[in-house]
Structure 1
């Protein structure tokens, strides 16, 4: 598979989840490749395995270093490897806020509980002590607060009679090895998933004043104004209207602006078959590199062209302050 995203994996020990990711990446259909395995422990057994499999490795002890200084060193190694995402796999270090912010929405972790239950350590015994019917594991995005980022995927693991923390941990680890590669693959390809793309457009469209969603010819559309007098300012196309690919249609100021956009960035814009003659433009959303701030700006611009004057006046007044 071409154009795989590059992953840097941080470990502190044997790296069993790292190994699961490494071997998953050997499949031709896998959307990611392992660019680096790095550790705060130069003796971590996982480094030897990664090197044996031809993966670049890096290690630097955190001892006698501040958290920020050590994170900066690790950041340098990750950047040098040209990684697109950071994946924590048994990395036993709390990361600095600055490091986490640098990798906002691009750093994942796996935790051995069904979050939000049992953040931190001792998760297996805590599940047993609580009398839970299931334990499990969760893949989540990393945020400054420990084990608190949005959960991307989970697997439940039944607690069996006579389980100890050790026997339960063994089964949860099997579930982790299955869950992590799949969740990572889905996350790094999300920007090509039409359902995920639609949700991004929907959230941004409905943030605008007095907007609501109404289907048009079988595809989502967004209007501003009342149910009777509202006007469309955006349509979502997933191979609708005779088009290919996934895109959002928005209004331009007219054919001159439309033509200028088509000439300047033909890989980003195209003229929709049924709406192009009215000055609408289509913005491609399935390239995997969508600038969502740009899309949000276009939605607001298109909204302002058809919104009632009382709304645009309020917006103009607010812009002055």
Structure 2
């Protein structure tokens, strides 16, 4: 994962870890979080098994725990109880670490982009169970592990990081699994640190804007005033991304607005997020992207509105007509 210049991180991101057994990956995440300047902190360890040994480890380390057996409960009711405990802890991310319970669609959707899992294979190879058996049966020279975002499709979310592990002559499922587990303990804390830091990194933030801006009809990207700039091909510009421009310490989207009254109103309502970008005048607003809580649906709407403000009437008319069908 390539990350470039970032804004200063605020407080460490709060993470809940879900386990079902010994919790060795949970322990790896926990101890890595105690390194100076770690970007995350474990605020809860929760389990679907009240007897999971990892709970005792967490309790001994002073981490709050929650346990609720799923026996006799519907999946949705158990998910809702786990979700309530996670939210009560203040967690902003959820890390699955040997959690042997399939989560329902509502839980996955509610934590989309903030729900991770570690899997003992080099995805997309061998999703599901018995990964080491599959690697040995296939004669693979390399096995390994992956950390990925969780989606409704089993082990199919965005892969955030991987580590390869050599398959040795005479390996069994047990010996291979033991070495892969060591790799998991190294990989998971690093990748989780990168994930919780992404909302502050210029490269990632610019790329999110880029994807949304270039989704507008006939949009193109150029560089203007030393900043990534988006405009209509052979037409006007509708957005810039300011990255520490003139050393202002901000990463922000610059979008068109109606004028000075709207600009003043936005800044009055949320002066931390909105500002008047120097040299751009009253027809533009700066929208901070580096506060860690960017609403990307709102940014999509800002870009669409800004694009419409400069798009030829013929082009917007065709789009409006198409949307009626």
- For residue 279 of structure 2, the aligned residue among 268, 274, 292 is 274
Between 48-57 and 126-135, report the one with greater CA deviation.
126-135
Between 277-286 and 141-150, report the one with greater CA deviation.
277-286
- For residue 109 of structure 2, the aligned residue among 93, 101, 106 is 101
Query: What 5-or-longer segments of structure 1 have no aligned partner?
Result: none
- For residue 61 of structure 1, the aligned residue among 45, 63, 69 is 69
User: C-alpha separation between the residues in 1 aligned to 2:221 and 2:71?
Assistant: 55
Mapped pair 1:203 → 2:211: yes
Secondary structure class of the residue paired with 2:154: coil
Asked if structure 1 preserves the Cα contact closer than 8 Å seen for 2:263 and 2:282, the reply is: no
Structure 2 counterpart of 1:188: 196
Asked if structure 1 preserves the Cα contact closer than 8 Å seen for 2:23 and 2:53, the reply is: yes
User: C-alpha separation between the residues in 2 aligned to 1:65 and 1:264?
Assistant: 45
Dislocated runs of 4+, deviation >4 Å = 318-321
* CA offset digits 1:81-122 (Å, max 9, x no partner): 222111111011111222222222221100000101000111
Structure 2 counterpart of 1:302: 306
Structure 2 counterpart of 1:246: 251
C-alpha deviation, 1:318, in angstroms: 4.8
TM-score (normalised: structure 1): 0.93
Asked if structure 1 preserves the Cα contact closer than 8 Å seen for 2:221 and 2:229, the reply is: yes
Secondary structure class of the residue paired with 2:238: strand
User: C-alpha separation between the residues in 2 aligned to 1:41 and 1:242?
Assistant: 51
- For residue 167 of structure 1, the aligned residue among 162, 169, 175 is 175
Counterparts of residues 21-170 of structure 1 (less than 5 Å): 21-170=29-178
User: C-alpha separation between the residues in 1 aligned to 2:291 and 2:144?
Assistant: 35
Mapped pair 1:311 → 2:319: no
User: C-alpha separation between the residues in 2 aligned to 1:43 and 1:305?
Assistant: 60
Between 13-22 and 209-218, report the one with greater CA deviation.
209-218
* CA offset digits 1:50-81 (Å, max 9, x no partner): 10000111111122222222222222222222
User: C-alpha separation between the residues in 1 aligned to 2:264 and 2:85?
Assistant: 45
* CA offset digits 1:172-210 (Å, max 9, x no partner): 111100110111111112110111101110011011111
C-alpha deviation, 1:278, in angstroms: 5.8
Mapped pair 1:233 → 2:241: no
Mapped pair 1:218 → 2:261: no
Between 104-113 and 263-272, report the one with greater CA deviation.
263-272
Query: What 5-or-longer segments of structure 2 have no aligned partner?
Result: 1-8
Asked if structure 1 preserves the Cα contact closer than 8 Å seen for 2:121 and 2:127, the reply is: yes
Question: How many residue pairs end up in the alignment?
Answer: 317
User: C-alpha separation between the residues in 1 aligned to 2:144 and 2:66?
Assistant: 31
Structure 2 counterpart of 1:288: 292
C-alpha deviation, 1:152, in angstroms: 1.0
Secondary structure class of the residue paired with 1:61: coil
Q: Cα–Cα, structure 1 residues 317 and 177, in superposed 2: closer, same or farther, change >3 Å?
A: same
Greater relative contact order, per chain length (Cα 8 Å cut-off, separation 6+): 2
Secondary structure class of the residue paired with 2:301: helix
User: C-alpha separation between the residues in 1 aligned to 2:204 and 2:228?
Assistant: 14
